[in-house]
Amino acid sequence: MHRNPRLSALNSWLVAGAPGADGFGEINAEIGRRLRTTDLPVDFFGVYKTLMHPELPGRFDYWTETGGPKMSRLTPRQLKESNRWIGTPGQVCSKTGRMLLYTFGDNPEFDGRPDMKALRERGYAQSLCLPLHSRYTPDLNVAVAMTKAEGGFTSDQIEALRSLQAQIARVTEGFVLHESTIAVLSTYVGRDAGARVLTGNIRRGDSENIPSVVLFIDLESFTQFSNQATPEDTIGFLNRFFSVLDEAVSRNGGEILKFIGDGAMAIFPTPDDRAAQVAAVDGALATLDETRRTMANQLESPSALKFRAALNVGDVHYGNIGSVNRMDFTVVGPTVNLTSRLMDIGASLGKRMVCSEEVIGLIDGVSEDLGKHHFKGFEQPVRVFSLEGYG
């Protein structure tokens, strides 16, 4: 079996980094397909992986000859508590770091599980779990090969599969590290900034001018709430609010660049084109409306959710700013400064949503002219408008 030329070809393909495959799902499926051509009776092949992802760290890519490639995910809680993972042959293999060979119907530890019963009913006879040892991934990944062949895998077939163990581990490790890097960067610096860092845009001072709608938003009376609530309730509420806000911002073409205490700053980039600018402003307004509606549906007292917002449009300086040892992708410039001042004037005037005259020129609807106001750092007075009828 070791001298099988097709097995050697699969080995060489894995050593080369699985060239030609687009994403790990296709890599996994190609391994399964190639294993079949080596005359190994593999009817199911999959790889369990744990990524550094805040919401969905567990990922299981699997392939069957009849169903093709598929994938399922697990939350942090499911990885720690759910029987979708805890107590499975894969989890036991990952925990012990040792190969696990399970013959269906011959192991009380697994036979009573509903998922194992379902696999047995589908005709699977044996499952081979191989630990994918790695130096750098957060948890031990596991490869799983299952067969419907009567009697399961032979000792030679198991040895052939084990001969690919280290190669599959290296390919999996590379994927996990890459995907984890993307997830961490996107979580902490934003999707666009994360992509820029990955492409080498990490020099201090690297920046560009981009037209953008700038949105500032913060919660009203949050200090009073946080003084009275437990730390767990305070953090829980903020996480829920920011999750809803981030989903709405992303859905409408924007990106949150900063969380600032109980508030956030987001941008909706737009080319220097009036129709695109109108769409960006509409996206920001839709974000506010969706956030308010979603949070109202989740809260026992919807009236308790009140937030202020300010909108402006113009060029912003977007790039790497900071010290030698600590940098941040952010936006600065007069457009950003004015948006911050608009938040302050809105609060002092008792208005929850305000915007600049440039924004008013891009929307249709009712607005209230709040007159011109002098702002620190701006020579000329700025006309401010209320958007109480929006969001």
Q: What is the pLDDT of residues 125-160, one digit of tens each?
A: 999 999 999 888 878 999 999 999 999 999 999 999
Model confidence at 344: pLDDT above 80:
yes
Residue 205: predicted pLDDT:
57
How does residue 49 score in pLDDT terms, banded at 50, 70 and 90?
very high
How many Å apart are CA 391 and CA 202, to the nearest integer? 37
Give the model confidence (pLDDT) of 227-255 as tens digits: 888 888 888 888 889 999 999 999 999 99
Taking residues 248-270, report their average pLDDT. 91
Taking residues 354-373, report their average pLDDT. 89
Nearest to 307 by CA among 371, 356, 270, 260: 260
**Chain CA centroid to CA 228, Å:** 32
Residue appearing with tokens 């163990």: 165
How many Å apart are CA 219 and CA 295, to the nearest integer? 12
Residue 15: predicted pLDDT:
94
How many Å apart are CA 42 and CA 152, to the nearest integer? 10
- Structure tokens that stand for 213 in this block: 């709608």
How many Å apart are CA 87 and CA 183, to the nearest integer? 27
Q: Give 275-315 as a DSSP string.
A: HHHHHHHHHHHHHHHHHHHHHHHH-SSGGG--EEEEEEEEE
How many Å apart are CA 194 and CA 211, to the nearest integer? 20
**Angle in degrees, CA 238, 242, 245, rounded to 5:** 145
**Chain CA centroid to CA 204, Å:** 26
Residue 154: predicted pLDDT:
96
* pLDDT above 70 coverage of the chain, percent: 88
Share the mean pLDDT of the chain: 88
Residue 204: predicted pLDDT:
59
Model confidence at 3: pLDDT above 70:
no
How does residue 1 score in pLDDT terms, banded at 50, 70 and 90?
very low
Residue 193: predicted pLDDT:
59
How many Å apart are CA 356 and CA 383, to the nearest integer? 7
| Contact yes or no for 220/306 (Cβ under 8 A) | yes
Residue appearing with tokens 């408008």: 385
Taking residues 93-109, report their average pLDDT. 95
How does residue 191 score in pLDDT terms, banded at 50, 70 and 90?
low
Give the model confidence (pLDDT) of 159-179 as tens digits: 999 999 999 999 999 988 888
Q: Which of 26-40, 215-229, 317-331, 358-372 has the lowest mean pLDDT?
A: 317-331
Residue 365: predicted pLDDT:
72
Taking residues 246-275, report their average pLDDT. 91
Residue 197: predicted pLDDT:
61
Model confidence at 107: pLDDT above 70:
yes
Q: Which of 40-44, 193-197, 280-284, 379-383 has the lowest mean pLDDT?
A: 193-197
Model confidence at 45: pLDDT above 60:
yes
* pLDDT above 90 coverage of the chain, percent: 60
Q: Which of 131-140, 259-268, 333-342 has the lowest mean pLDDT?
A: 131-140
Model confidence at 2: pLDDT above 60:
no
Q: Please give the domain boundaries of the chain with CATH numbers for all domains.
A: 5-186 (3.30.450.40), 201-386 (3.30.70.1230)
Taking residues 95-104, report their average pLDDT. 96
How does residue 189 score in pLDDT terms, banded at 50, 70 and 90?
low
Give the model confidence (pLDDT) of 13-35 as tens digits: 999 999 988 889 999 999 999 99
What's the pTM? 0.64
